[in-house]
């Protein structure tokens, strides 16, 4: 990261608000939460005027446990001012191939597919209209087939999270490798009004599901209003290490807590 001009930022882990998304469940501390990613802190730093920043840091998510999930895991997240998600694609692919060559792992060239084309290619039909059904098909029939490094783009706008939306398509991509989701990237949303609306909507869905809404962090809304156009990405380090070493679970490559 340093070679590419990125500056490492030490972010707070104990935070006032741990996320935006409906399906992210933070771990509560006696005051505040453990962060679910360094996203909010890094956006505030981006707004302070540092153009290329990253953090590699433990993150915490409740109710996630499996061979590719842990309540504690390590995230590498970086942001770059002045670019969109396409430039970030080049950087993450470069990182993957450099690490493969360091470890001596051979892999196929990157494939690019839109979200809708992934359904056509791997299920011979369109994505189901029902969002939950579409996700069920995704995890059952599509994810396991994304073996070559694959960049999925053009997510439906309902799955936009923090990304810019054009028409009904979110400017967001995910990187898959060996059937495992490795990274998620955005052209970052710059509209504080839209951000507040998404935050409130997720809060409402969480309330309806009987969960505590994520508090709206005004400093993050301010940061989004101030920071320049930027691309950003979050990458699961444990999953990457697992795949590079040929392990079958992230728990084989982490010291249990």
Partner 1 sequence: MVYFQFVKPGKGTAFTRTKLKNMITGAVIERTFRTGETVGVADVEEFTMQFQYDDGDMYFFMNMETYETVGISTAVLDGVEKFLIDGLEVQVLLYKERPVAVELPNFIEAEITYCEPGVKGNTAQGATKPATVAGGAIVQVPLFVDQGEVIKIDTRTKSYVSRVRK
In the complex, the residues that contact partner 1 under the rule CB under 8 A are 21, 23, 63-69, 131-132, 135-136, 138-140, 143, 155, 159-161, 174, 181, 184
* Cα(57)–Cα(78) distance, integer angstroms: 11
Nearest approach, Cβ of 107 to partner 1 (angstroms)? 21
Tokens matching residue 66: 């499996």
Is 19 within 8 Å of 37 (Cβ atoms)?
Answer: yes
Nearer residue to partner 1 within complex by CB, 8 or 130: 130
> Least distance in Å: CB of 48 to partner 1?
28
Helices (H) and strands (E) in the chain, counts: 7, 13
Q: Which is nearer to partner 1, 117 or 222 (CB)?
A: 117
Q: Angle formed by the axes of helices 192-208 and 218-226, to 10°?
A: 150
Residue with tokens 């999953």: 239
Of 47 and 134, which has the nearer Cβ to partner 1?
134
- Smallest distance from partner 1 to CB 221, Å: 20
Shortest distance, position 152 Cβ to partner 1, whole Å:
9
Nearest to partner 1 of 44, 68 (CB atom): 68
- Residue 203: DSSP 8-state: H
At its nearest, how many Å lie between partner 1 and the CB of residue 101? Answer: 27
Is the torsion defined by CA of 60, 189, 161, 100 positive or negative? negative
SS3 231: strand
| Closer residue to partner 1 in complex, CB, 9/35 | 35
């Amino acid at each position: 990261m340093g070679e590419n001009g990125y500056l490492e930022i030490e972010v707070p882990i104990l935070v006032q608000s741990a996320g935006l998304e409906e399906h992210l469940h933070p771990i509560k501390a006696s005051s505040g939460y453990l962060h679910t990613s360094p996203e909010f802190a890094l956006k505030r730093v981006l707004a302070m005027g540092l153009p290329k920043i990253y953090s590699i840091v433990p993150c915490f998510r409740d109710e996630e446990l499996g061979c590719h999930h842990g309540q504690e895991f390590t995230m590498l997240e970086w942001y770059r001012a002045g670019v969109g998600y396409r430039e970030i694609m080049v950087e993450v692919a470069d990182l993957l191939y450099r690490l493969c060559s360091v470890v001596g792992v051979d892999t196929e060239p990157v494939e690019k597919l839109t979200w809708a084309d992934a359904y056509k290619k791997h299920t011979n039909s369109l994505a189901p209209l029902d969002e939950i059904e579409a996700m069920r098909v995704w995890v059952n029939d599509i994810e396991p087939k994304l073996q070559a490094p694959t960049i999925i783009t053009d997510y439906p706008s309902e799955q936009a999270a923090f990304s810019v939306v054009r028409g009904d398509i979110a400017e967001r991509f995910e990187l898959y490798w060996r059937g495992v989701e490795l990274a998620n990237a955005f052209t970052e949303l710059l509209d504080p009004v839209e951000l507040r609306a998404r935050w409130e909507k997720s809060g409402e869905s969480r309330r309806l599901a009987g969960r505590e809404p994520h508090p709206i962090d005004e400093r993050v809304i301010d940061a989004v209003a101030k920071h320049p156009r930027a691309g950003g990405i979050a990458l699961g380090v444990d999953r990457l290490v697992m795949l590079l070493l040929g392990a079958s679970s992230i728990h084989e490559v982490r010291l249990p807590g």
